[in-house]
Structure 1
Amino acid sequence: MKHFIKGFLFGTVATVGAVAGAALSFKKKVVEPIEDEEEKFEENRKRAARKSRSAHH
């Protein structure tokens, strides 16, 4: 029974670790590039608005 419990706990920890690693990898590869792109668009929009205001004054 002891071996079963140890194996079960190790398997659970390993599975949780794998899921956490996959989630972090997904965030790094998919979510962060999208956020960076949105941030660049926002910065360009702000810059264009400032340029437009200064050109009309």
Structure 2
Amino acid sequence: MAKKEKRFRFVKGFLFGSLTTATAVYGALHAFKKTVIEPEDAENERIEANRRRANRKSLQAHQG
């Protein structure tokens, strides 16, 4: 009976550790996305919008 109990404790601990590790990895990736990727995308969108606006103004100014 003791062997089964040890095995059960091992499996339970292994599953709990795996779940905890997976959660930590997910949290790290999510934090990286929120702090690095999304602000970079927002900045690129802002630059693109400014470029389009500048092109419209330039074309409008030279229609004479």
Quick check: TM above 0.5?
A: yes
- Please give the TM-score of this superposition, normalised by the length of structure 1: 0.97
* Identical-pair percentage: 53
**Which structure has the bigger radius of gyration?**
2
Structure 2 counterpart of 1:40, which letter? R
Work out the CA distance in 1 between the residues paired with 2:52 and 2:45.
11
User: Post-superposition shift, 1:16?
Assistant: 0.3
Matched positions, count: 57
Gaps of 5+ in 2: 1-6
- Please give the TM-score of this superposition, normalised by the length of structure 2: 0.87
Dislocated runs of 4+, deviation >3 Å:
none
